[in-house]
């Protein structure tokens, strides 16, 4: 674990905390915790939290609980420090990427994705722990080393982010559970965490899932099943539904205001047995389709340009090729 002691002297003046597009609960909760940390270290600091295109639907309850205010744009003419949170590449900052690159402000990145050299080269302090399941897990260690006290709301927020990125502790590690235990002792409640991450599926989302099922294509590469479909909204919801129905990999794509949007999901079994990383595939496809992609081994997303059918053909082609490479390697050992 890197030393975090150098952080304190840069957390002063006018500060922007910047999340990736469509900020999920881990990004939102980590941003809340970092804002609380800044206010504890330097109460006179002015802090804005920016999400380039807003937050995900699942983050709305978290925002209400924490009281965190977010914006797509800043009121600041000059910024002393940028803190980029839970963001694996510059492209995920969308319209904010050029400003981040060109700014003379001090730059800090706090992230748990695979280290990105381009991002690292842009920053004064680059804190990355790719072994952390969630950015909130990494932020916990920062708070601990800087002796920032935890109250019930702060502990709950961190545990919400960790629960979300671990798929409700489904891919947790021993270190992860030790952090969770500390947060529970600090006042976090698992019942509260579950409530904050539970949303009721309304009729429009139900209809979207059913439409995705009507349009689905199934690709079998024994022993795996890949399901693809197109949908104008709720792509991630439909992708999760396909996994629950029995798909090993689900790819949903659609267009919103002429922007190509895709969501990838896979089972943990698929990742463990193939080591095919959806986050890496979505990054590659993001470049291919003039946009940005990224995420985790079993859950990823993408924004770009192009046609839906061409995207799905390319995505399936890449995954099938990777699967054949895995099978070929297995037969040689």
Give the pLDDT score at 103.
92
Euclidean distance between CA atoms 306 and 289, whole angstroms: 6
Give the pLDDT score at 1.
39
The share of the chain scoring above pLDDT 90, in percent, equals 75
Q: What is the mean pLDDT of residues 186-201?
A: 92
Assess whether pLDDT exceeds 60 at residue 89: yes
Q: What is the mean pLDDT of residues 109-115?
A: 91
Give the pLDDT score at 55.
87
Residue 31 is encoded by which pair of tokens? 């941003």
Euclidean distance between CA atoms 147 and 23, whole angstroms: 27
Assess whether pLDDT exceeds 90 at residue 71: yes
Alpha carbon separation from 333 to 40, 187, 292, 327, 329 (Å, rounded): 55, 50, 36, 10, 7
Of the candidate ranges 38-42, 190-194, 251-255, 256-260, the one whose mean pLDDT is the lowest? 256-260
The dihedral built from the CA positions of residue 85, 91, 97 and 102, taken in this order, carries a sign that is positive
Q: What is the mean pLDDT of residues 116-122?
A: 89
Residue 314 backbone zone (phi > 0: left; psi -120 to 50: alpha; other: beta): alpha
pLDDT greater at residue 325 or residue 68: 68
Whether residue 155 contacts residue 187, with contact meaning beta carbons closer than 8 Å, is answered with: yes
Alpha carbon separation from 200 to 98, 170, 192 (Å, rounded): 37, 21, 16
Q: What is the overall mean pLDDT for the chain?
A: 92
pLDDT greater at residue 8 or residue 269: 269
Residue 53's closest CA among 296, 290, 287, 256? 256
Beta strands in the chain, from DSSP E residues, in sequence order: 14-19, 46-50, 70-71, 81-85, 106-111, 125-128, 217-221, 224-230, 249-256, 259-266, 292-295, 299-304
Phi, psi values for residue 143, rounded to 5°: -60, -40
Helix H or strand E encompassing 178: helix 174-185
Q: What is the mean pLDDT of residues 32-51?
A: 96
pLDDT greater at residue 296 or residue 4: 296
Domains delineated in the chain: 5-196 (3.90.1640.10), 207-332 (3.10.310.40)
Give the pLDDT score at 150.
97
pLDDT tens profile 219-238: 999 899 999 999 998 999 99
Q: What is the mean pLDDT of residues 276-299?
A: 90
pLDDT greater at residue 141 or residue 202: 141
pLDDT tens profile 295-328: 888 988 998 999 999 999 999 999 999 999 888 8
Residue 120 is encoded by which pair of tokens? 């690292």
Whether residue 16 contacts residue 45, with contact meaning beta carbons closer than 8 Å, is answered with: no
Euclidean distance between CA atoms 166 and 160, whole angstroms: 10
**pTM, entire model:** 0.80
Give the pLDDT score at 256.
84
Residue 223: cis peptide before it, omega within 30 degrees of 0: yes
pLDDT tens profile 9-20: 899 999 999 998
Fill in the DSSP letter of residue 23: B
User: Bridge partners of 225?
Assistant: 220
């Amino acid at each position: 674990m890197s030393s975090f002691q150098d952080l304190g002297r840069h957390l002063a003046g006018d500060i922007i905390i910047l999340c990736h597009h469509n900020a999920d609960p881990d990004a939102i909760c980590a941003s809340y915790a970092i804002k609380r940390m800044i206010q504890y270290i330097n109460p006179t600091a002015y802090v804005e939290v920016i999400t380039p295109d807003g937050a995900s639907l699942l983050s709305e309850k978290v925002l209400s609980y924490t009281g965190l205010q977010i914006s797509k744009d800043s009121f600041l003419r000059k910024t002393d420090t940028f803190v980029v949170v839970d963001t694996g590449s510059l492209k995920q900052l969308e319209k904010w990427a050029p400003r981040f690159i060109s700014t003379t402000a001090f730059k800090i990145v706090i992230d748990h994705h695979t280290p990105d050299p381009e991002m690292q080269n842009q920053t004064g302090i680059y804190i990355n722990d790719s072994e952390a399941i969630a950015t909130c897990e990494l932020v916990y260690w920062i708070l601990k080393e800087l002796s920032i006290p935890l109250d019930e709301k702060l502990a709950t927020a961190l545990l919400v982010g960790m629960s979300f990125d671990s798929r409700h502790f489904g891919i947790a590690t021993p270190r992860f559970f030790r952090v969770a235990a500390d947060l529970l002792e600090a006042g976090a409640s698992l019942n509260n965490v579950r409530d904050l991450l539970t949303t009721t599926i309304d009729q429009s989302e139900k209809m979207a899932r059913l439409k995705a099922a009507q349009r689905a294509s199934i690709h079998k590469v024994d022993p795996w099943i890949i399901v693809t479909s197109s949908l104008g909204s709720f792509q991630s919801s439909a992708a999760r539904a396909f996994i629950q129905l029995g798909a090993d990999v689900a790819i949903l794509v659609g267009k919103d205001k002429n922007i190509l949007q895709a969501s990838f999901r896979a089972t943990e079994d698929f990742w463990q047995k193939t080591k095919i990383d959806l986050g890496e595939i979505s990054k590659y496809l993001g470049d291919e389709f003039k946009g940005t992609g990224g995420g985790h081994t079993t859950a990823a997303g993408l924004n770009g340009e192009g046609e839906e059918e061409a995207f799905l053909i390319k995505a399936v082609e890449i995954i099938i090729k990777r699967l054949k490479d895995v099978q070929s390697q297995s037969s040689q050992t």
